[in-house]
Amino acid sequence: MPGITIIGSGRYVPGQPVTNDQLARVMDTSDEWVAQRTGIRQRHFAPDGVAPSDMGAEAARLAIENAGISPSEVDYIVFATMTPDYLFPGSGGLCGSKLGIPGVPALDIRQQCAAVPFGLQTADALVSAGAAKTVLLVAAEAHAGFMPWNRWDILEGGEGKPSQEEWERATRHRGLAVIFGDGAGAWVLRAAEQAGQGYIGGLIRSDGRHADQIFIEGCGFRRRPFCTPEMIEREEHIPQMHGRELFKHAVTKLPAVIRELCQKHGVSLDDIDWFIAHQANDRINSAVREALNLPPEKVPSNIARYGNTSGATIPILTDELLREGKLKRGQLVCFFALGAGLHWGAVLMRL
């Protein structure tokens, strides 16, 4: 049976872009500082009250329309987010209800930035097992909720300046705050029409020994109660990130898993038309590209415009490439990503 392929795609980002110069209104940073370290020039943030399920539903509607099907033809939802609407329930069922398809099973997955390799393997297994014919894979993030400033009015062009305490607090977390943006991407997935097309295979890995390299220490259920004012005061609700260690993991683990995957399926790196990477940091992706000796034109990037939207980066970039006519049917694609957990992996698919 042929593996799954993408029959429709969509993307959604909220509001107007927030530039690096705007971030400099609430913390000690600059466009040059951010762009040099990350390649990011702007990002989008979800307004208060806009949840991942809302953004995911917007992207999903576009993907369903692009696929030329009706929402009622979706018979399984796989929803990826690390910033859910609520601690529970998950966002997948909420997204389904907003699409007008209550009753469709929804599976929430938590592989953060590595969501796509895990989500594709899950979706392919569902279709191969006969549990679903049409799977909607959605990834959506609302990172605005853990940004280390409260004065959104100043960020967005209002009068005044943050207090010294607010300025110092945001600056302490700037290495994390400048990276993330909000948005959603969605794919409609079905079995390919011919053998040799669609999902070829994937290799995915998890290693909890490195969980503390990017995680939220507070407001978890190893504590009683799970959230206290003291945790907020200690800023334990804001993610902690060890960027240098994450960089080392990404630039060693990702080339290794891509090579292993290609060897397993008898594919050479030269055979692959596109390497679509999670958009975490341009420096990481450049290092991975150099380690694999790949031509730059095969490793597209849009991080400058969106920042890191976690699991949504690959679907957003893929949707852009498809709609621009660059990514075409019959081409061989390698999707790869590393995220908090640590989780990482790669997938081969012939569209």
Active site residues: 113, 278, 308
Closest C-alpha to 96, from 126, 57, 137, 132: 57
88's tokens: 């529970």
Separation between Cα atoms, residue 157 and residue 153, nearest integer Å: 6
**Are 321 and 145 contacting, i.e. CB atoms less than 8 angstroms apart?**
no
Count each helix (H run) and each strand (E run) in the chain, helices first: 13, 13
Q: Which residues contact 303 (CB under 8 A, 6 or more apart)?
A: 38, 39, 40, 279, 280, 281, 282, 285, 313
Using CA atoms of 199, 269, 331, 135 in order, give the dihedral in degrees to the nearest 10: 20
Backbone φ, ψ for residue 42 (5° rounding): -160, 170
